[in-house]
Structure formats: structure tokens, C-alpha cells
Amino acid sequence: MKRILILGANGKIARIVEKRLLNNPEYQLTLVLRNAQRLNSLKIANNVNIIEGNVSDKHLLETVLNNQDIVYANLNGNMEQWAKNIIETMQDSNVNNLIWITGSGLYHEVPDPFGSWVENYVGHESKEDTRRAAKIIETSQLKYTIIRAAYMTNDDEIDYELTKKGEIFKGTMISRASIADFVIKIIQDPNKYTKESYGISKPGTDNMLNEIRKIEHDI
């Protein structure tokens, strides 16, 4: 049985991952989120432990990391600080496998005009925060996998292609269901994807910035 710790367990991608792993005897899930009541519906599952807390609390991290096999972080906010807290505690707890979700543009690898749009949409300071977090992860001794996602949609489809660090990012859009599918693949075989940073997007979406702008306008 693999023991999976999910930080930020109420995130949209995390919820899809959890749904697919519920009641699977191969996995024991520990779900950490700031408001545990949001996941009350999962309490009936026989492989779920729900804990209320925040990754800013290192004592909590020490407690929940005990005997975990894989940490999947689905977070937002002060990413540099979260990365420091998580990595320091993982190393102290001898937990080695980390899956980290972030956005495209970590390495300025996204061609314009989408690359510039992402930087402006997220905000330069926020992007720099995510870059510092990624650097902390990549210079650690952990067996990490970073996922750099294109613009996320709620489309009910699994269709994606991957690029590695050092390659030009492809595409502009990706469904959260596709990202969740890739997370599960990593959980199933973490060694296959270790020490790597993957861009993820839907094939054939290279020139869809206008469609993204329309989506944003309608939100």
C-alpha cells in the first residue's frame, strides 16, 4: 500500500485525484486542508484520513509526514515559503517523493504572445515567487516531479502532451482532469518521472490565446 499525503486537498485538481483513488486498497490518503468540512463527503471512504491545517504550521507537517511515501502539493499563496517548509520537513522525516503543481513560465520557456500574457496575468512578483520555490525544490535531495501547467480549464477530457525542462513549452490550455491523470501516473511510478520538470498542455492549442481571453472575459 502506498501512503499519499495531499497538501491543499480541496484544490480542483486534488479533488479529481482523490475521487479516482477513493476506496482503492492500494492507496492510503491523508488529506490536509484549511477547512476540513469541505471534504466531509469523503469521510465515508475506507482509505482517507482528513486533517485540518495549514502548510505554514511545521509541527503539523511533521505529524502528517510520518510514514508517508509520496507528498502531492496542490497549493497557492506564498510558494517559496511553502516549498521551504515542506522540503525541510520531508528531509527531516525521510520522505523523498514530491509532486509539485505550478504554472507554465518557470524558466521563461513559453513562446510569446502566450508567455507574456501568462507573466502579466499571474503577475511578475507571483511568478518570481514560484520560480524561487521551484529552485528550492530542484536543488534539494528529494525525488521531485514538477508539473508546469498551461491555462487550466474544467473540460471533462484527458488529452495532454508533455515537454521537459529545457524544451520550448507547447500549447496554451490544459484540462484539470488531464493534470490529475498525470499526477496519478506519477503516483503509480514515481521513479519514472523523478528529478524532472514537465510542461503539460493539450495538443493543438498553440494558438488559442484569443480563446483564453474570451474565457476570462466571460468569468
Q: What is the CATH number of the domain that holds 110?
A: 3.40.50.720
Q: Say what the pTM is.
A: 0.96
How many folded domains does the chain comprise? 1
What local confidence, expressed as pLDDT, does residue 206 receive? 95
* 101 has a pLDDT exceeding 80: yes
> What is the DSSP-derived secondary structure letter of residue 24?
-
pLDDT above 90: residue 23: yes
Residue 105: the pLDDT is 96
Average pLDDT over residues 55-67: 93
Mean per-residue pLDDT, 23-29? 96
Distance CA 74, CA 101 (A): 6
The pLDDT tens digits for 124-149 are 999 999 999 999 999 999 999 999 99
Check whether 69 has a pLDDT greater than 80: yes
Q: pLDDT at residue 218 above 90?
A: no
Give the range of the structural domain holding residue 164, as residue numbers without chain letter.
2-218
Closest CA to 72 of 143, 1, 140, 161: 143
| Strand ranges inside the chain, DSSP E | 2-7, 27-33, 48-52, 70-73, 97-103, 143-149, 151-153, 161-164, 173-175, 196-201
Is-contact 21 29, C-beta < 8 A?
yes
The pLDDT of residue 92: 94
